[in-house]
Amino acid sequence: MHADAVMTAGIHALLADCGGFHLTLQDRQPQGQAHARVIIADYDSGITLARQLSPDRYGAAPRVLIVTQLDKEWQVRTAMDSGVHGYLLQGCPADELVRAVQQLSQGMRYLAEAVTRCVADSLSRESLTGRETDVLLLLARGCCNKSIARELGIGVGTVKTHVKGLMSKLDATARTHAVVVAAQRGLIGSGTRLPAPLPGRHPRGVAAMQ
C-alpha cells in the first residue's frame, strides 16, 4: 500500500476500472505479495522492497513500481540503483499508470515521461563519490574546512581536495554555488543530513497481477 491512503485508494480504483488485473491490498491480504508480479508503493517503501526482494524467487521476484511526488535526479537515480523497476509521478494520467503496470508485468521497466530527460541528463555527468557527498552535506550546513575535517576524521588538505573535486563535477564557481547547484539537482535538500542507517519500516504495497 502507498503510504498515503488516498493514493492507495485512487491507484486501486484506476486499475480496477481498467480491468485485466487481479489486485490485492497489502493490509488486507498480506499473502498477496508472495504471488504478485508488480508491487506499487511509495518512495521509501518501494526502495525497501526492491532491496529486500530476491532476484530469483521461484523464477521471478515481483517488480516494484514507485508512485511519488519526488522528481529530483538524485531521488530517481537512487531508486533505480536500488532495484526499483518503475517510477511514476503522482498526478500522472491514468493511462500512464496502466501502461507502467503492464510493462512491468511483462518484465520490462518504466520511467515516467516527466523524469526521463532528467535522468538521461544525469547519466552524462560524473557522479560524486561517497566522501565528496559527505563533504557537500557539511558544506550545506555552513561548515568550514576545519569543521568538516574534524567531523569526518580526515585532514584539512583532504577536505580541500574533495571540495575541489565536487565543485568541478558540479561545475560550480564557489562553495555556496556548489550547494545551490546540488540543491537544484536534488543531491541535497533542506532536511539533508549525513548518511545514516534509516530506521526499519514495514514495506507496504499494492500488488497487481495479470
What are the tens digits of pLDDT across the range 107-147? Answer: 899 998 878 876 766 665 777 888 998 999 999 999 999 99
**Crossing angle of the two packed helices 130-140 and 156-169, in degrees rounded to 10:** 90
What are the residues whose beta carbons fall under 8 Å from the beta carbon of 51, sequence distance 6 or more? Answer: 82, 83
pLDDT score at 200: 41
Phi, psi of 63 (to 5 degrees): -100, 135
Residue 121, pLDDT score = 63
The C-alpha cell that represents 41 in the structure block: 508503493
| Helices 175-184 + 130-140 axis angle, to 10 | 110
Q: Let me know how long the chain is.
A: 210
Adjacency order of strands within the sheet including 206-209: 22-25, 206-209, 38-41, 63-68, 86-89, 110-111
The pair phi, psi for residue 167, each rounded to 5°, is -65, -35
Beta bridge partners of 63: 38
- In this prediction, residue 44 carries a pLDDT of 92
* pLDDT tens digits, one per residue of 90-109: 988 989 999 999 999 898 99
Domains contained in the chain, CATH given: 5-123+198-209 (3.40.50.2300), 130-184 (1.10.10.10)
pLDDT value of residue 204: 47
For residue 90, which amino acid is it? Q
Mean pLDDT of all residues in 16-45? 75
Least confident stretch, 17-26, 67-76, 108-117, 179-188? 17-26
Rounded mean pLDDT, 38-66: 81
d(CA 163, CA 172): 10
74, 187 Cβ separation under 8 angstroms: yes
Average pLDDT, the chain: 80
